[in-house]
Chains A and B, each alone.
Chain A
Amino acid sequence: MDLFEYQGKQYFARYDIPVSPGGPADTVDEAVREANNAGYPVVVKAQVQVGGRGKAGGIQLADDEAAVREHAGNILGMDIKGHTVRRVWVEKASDIDEEYYVSFTLDRAEKQHLMMLSAEGGVEIETVAEENPDAIVKLHIDPVDGLTAERARQACVDAKLPERALDGATDIIVKLYRCYTEGDCDLAEINPLILKPTGEVHALDAKVTLDGSAEFRHPEWEDFKGLTEMDEREQMAAEKDLQYIGLEGSVGIIANGAGLAMSTLDVVNQVGGSAANFLDIGGGANADVMAGALEVINSDDSVQSIFINIFGGITRGEEVAKGIVEAMGRVDLRAPIVIRLDGTNAEEGRQILLDAGIPADKLRSEPTMLDAARAAVALAD
């Protein structure tokens, strides 16, 4: 789950990471109220999950209430790279001496945590990595050991942060590591981490991705839901706990297992079609899950045919078949289904579909993945 900047800052605050005083606003009046609370000058920042907000005019400095009204009015509703701004974050403007970069993420190749720290913050870290890779200090952290203040401080020295920033930066880095680990982040990034003329160091931006698998131990994440950037189909699928990603094509896809679902997209593409979605019903899916998946697909107007690709392991063929029969009784499916069913209890499943007496123009079975893909693509044309 990707957090908006303001949510990331709220999350940082839980771990005592200093951020600027401010608040979120959905209307111009709310923005003015937050600005008055924070104290002028303030910065009005568009809350969208896409880079390049500043260039698009989504970040503006305001010296007084009139300026806040003007900028908030302009930014709310603004389109930034296809994302509509529904909320702004208004915070007290900071005097900036220097800008740094720090982040924590998992290095999958090394199977350890990776901290990246640079004295060249405020720009895309990818750009720094390309143009001046030596300016980024990389530190691997064994999760068993954790990160000590000594190592964090040494990294600051290695990154050539000035002496007067060392205490503040070390403190924030240690807190950010705690936020990253105890807070179950896939990514915790501060860019820029700023040094003020007063010598204080604090987080001017926040980029946080939470690990959805850890939701069970974070009731506080409930606050971050809603206002996430999902289209209607994705919203509906999320409510049914389905792994769904909306795409642009016309063949609706339902498969069990992420690998097979990806492969199904690939095969549809190879035989000249295009998928309307990625949908993994997961392992052990039962009839109810299959029915829910069909409902989600059915809600997508661009779907012209539905390709159900199941290879049973944990998922049992008879459950899949029951789900299809149930869904066809529950919802009026607009598009015809092509199914390929193999693996655990596939025979029973095929028999259930046969016994249900569904007309052939509504549902047909194909023996292989390729045959089924061709049939589904032909129906979608």
Chain B
Amino acid sequence: MAIFVNENTKVIVQGLTGGQGKYHGLRNRDYGTQIVGGVTPGKGGQDVEGIPIFNSVAEAVDATGADASFAAVPPRFAPGAILEAAEAGIGFVVCITEGIPAQDEALTYNRLVRDFPNTRLLGPNCPGIISPGKCNIGITAGEIAQNPTAEGPNVGIVSRSGTLTYQALYELKQQGIGVSTCVGIGGDPVPGTSFIDCIREFEADPETHAIMMLGEIGGSAEEEAAEYITASVSKPMAAYIAGVTAPAGKKMGHAGAIVSGGKGTAQGKMDALSAAGVKVGLNPTEAGELMAGIVKTL
């Protein structure tokens, strides 16, 4: 088991003929992911290293039976690409695009909720998702992820930041801990998939025994997750929040990472998670060690 994607997931890459799409799409295939097609309007009939290109997502779905999409297209085309995938019946869309205007992002999210409730969007501006040994969609370097074991214990990871996601995978690999699925939800203001969405799935996934969460300053997603954890999560958790030293009022790279009006501070988030029974580390390594400690007791 894993959450959202597994060895049976069939993926098309929107933008496979572009630089990023090709590089990461092929890397995902090399990892063992079933990359069954690519979509680039006007380039249907061509192929990228044997992967057939289609003019539309609908055509690609008809021909390949794809159920997931990896959207690697520029910001101005990303909202259209996401909605096209949803319209074609794709159930899981991973969008790595950084720099989509917030207005477009909010509109796209609400359109999905209203018109395509069966499509889950991961991202945008996220590193993607990896179920180690089974499926890797996005930009994560697969070799840093430790495969889960049948008997466990395995950890599920959910993170708001790309590089911190890799850091978490790396820390767990150093500790020899298997990962069921690692989800990067992205650092934008309106992520399609939230911490809570992932934690709920991990809680229900029999192959996941503990959950690691990496948050950052800005917004209230971590605080909301803490409330959810208190009410509904039985599996042990460790967490790390980036941005303890971030000055207020400055956007720390991510569009969503800003402390404003005294809200969204790292300390507030750490306190909320601690109160929910989550073990909180002061840096990614410490969070990894805390998780190792948890795993030993399982």
Question: Interface on A for B, CB 8 Å cutoff?
Answer: 106, 108-109, 111-113, 126, 142-144, 181, 184, 186, 211, 213-214, 216-217, 243, 245, 247, 255-263, 265-267, 269-270, 275, 278, 280, 282-284, 311-314, 342-344, 368-370
- CB neighbours of A255 from chain B (8 A): 163
B110 touches A142 (CB 8 A): yes
- CB neighbours of B164 from chain A (8 A): 257, 259-260, 263
Q: Tell whether B282 is near chain A: CB-to-CB under 8 Å.
A: yes
Question: Interface on B for A, CB 8 Å cutoff?
Answer: 20, 24, 75-76, 98-104, 106-107, 109-111, 114, 127, 139-141, 144, 159-167, 170, 187, 189-190, 214, 216-217, 219-221, 224, 240, 242-247, 250, 252-257, 261, 266, 282-285
A313 touches B140 (CB 8 A): yes
12 A-B interface contacts by CB (under 8 A): A106-B190, A143-B107, A186-B102, A213-B100, A259-B159, A259-B216, A269-B244, A282-B98, A314-B20, A342-B166, A344-B141, A370-B285
Closest to B214 in A: A259
- CB neighbours of A143 from chain B (8 A): 103, 106-107, 110
A259 touches B103 (CB 8 A): no
- Shortest Cβ distance from residue B83 to the other chain A in the assembled complex, whole angstroms: 12
- CB neighbours of B162 from chain A (8 A): 257, 259, 283, 313-314
A270 touches B283 (CB 8 A): yes
- Shortest Cβ distance from residue A101 to the other chain B in the assembled complex, whole angstroms: 15
A144 and B114 in contact (CB under 8 A), knowing A313-B162, A343-B144? yes
A257 touches B161 (CB 8 A): yes
**How far, in angstroms, from A113 to B105 measured CA to CA in the complex?**
12
B247 contacts which of A144, A213, A245 (Cβ < 8 Å)? A245
B214 touches A312 (CB 8 A): no
**How far, in angstroms, from A80 to B149 measured CA to CA in the complex?**
61
Which 3 pairs from chain A and chain B are nearest by CB? A259-B161, A258-B253, A257-B163
A267 and B190 in contact (CB under 8 A), knowing A213-B102, A258-B252? no
- Shortest Cβ distance from residue A177 to the other chain B in the assembled complex, whole angstroms: 11
A109 touches B170 (CB 8 A): no
**How far, in angstroms, from A213 to B76 measured CA to CA in the complex?**
10
B144 touches A245 (CB 8 A): no
B20 touches A269 (CB 8 A): no
Interface centre among B107, B111, B266 (most CB of A within 10 A): B107
B102 touches A266 (CB 8 A): no
**How far, in angstroms, from A186 to B102 measured CA to CA in the complex?**
8
A258 and B101 in contact (CB under 8 A), knowing A312-B141, A313-B162? no
A260 and B106 in contact (CB under 8 A), knowing A106-B190, A266-B283, A369-B285? no
- CB neighbours of A108 from chain B (8 A): 189-190, 219-221, 256
Closest to A345 in B: B141
B284 touches A369 (CB 8 A): yes
- CB neighbours of A258 from chain B (8 A): 161, 187, 216, 252-254, 257
A260 and B161 in contact (CB under 8 A), knowing A144-B114, A265-B246, A266-B244? yes
- CB neighbours of B141 from chain A (8 A): 312-313, 343-344
B253 contacts which of A213, A217, A257 (Cβ < 8 Å)? A257
A259 and B242 in contact (CB under 8 A), knowing A213-B75, A313-B166, A369-B284? yes
**How far, in angstroms, from A260 to B257 measured CA to CA in the complex?**
12
- Shortest Cβ distance from residue A31 to the other chain B in the assembled complex, whole angstroms: 30
B242 touches A113 (CB 8 A): no
A109 touches B224 (CB 8 A): yes
- CB neighbours of A216 from chain B (8 A): 75-76
A214 and B253 in contact (CB under 8 A), knowing A265-B246, A283-B98, A314-B139? no
B107 touches A278 (CB 8 A): no
Closest to B108 in A: A143
- CB neighbours of B250 from chain A (8 A): 245, 278
A263 touches B284 (CB 8 A): yes
**How far, in angstroms, from A255 to B243 measured CA to CA in the complex?**
14
B24 touches A314 (CB 8 A): yes
Q: A211-B101, A270-B282 are in contact. List 14 more A-B contacts (CB 8 A).
A: A245-B247, A261-B252, A262-B217, A266-B243, A267-B283, A282-B98, A312-B141, A313-B166, A314-B20, A314-B24, A343-B141, A343-B144, A343-B166, A370-B285
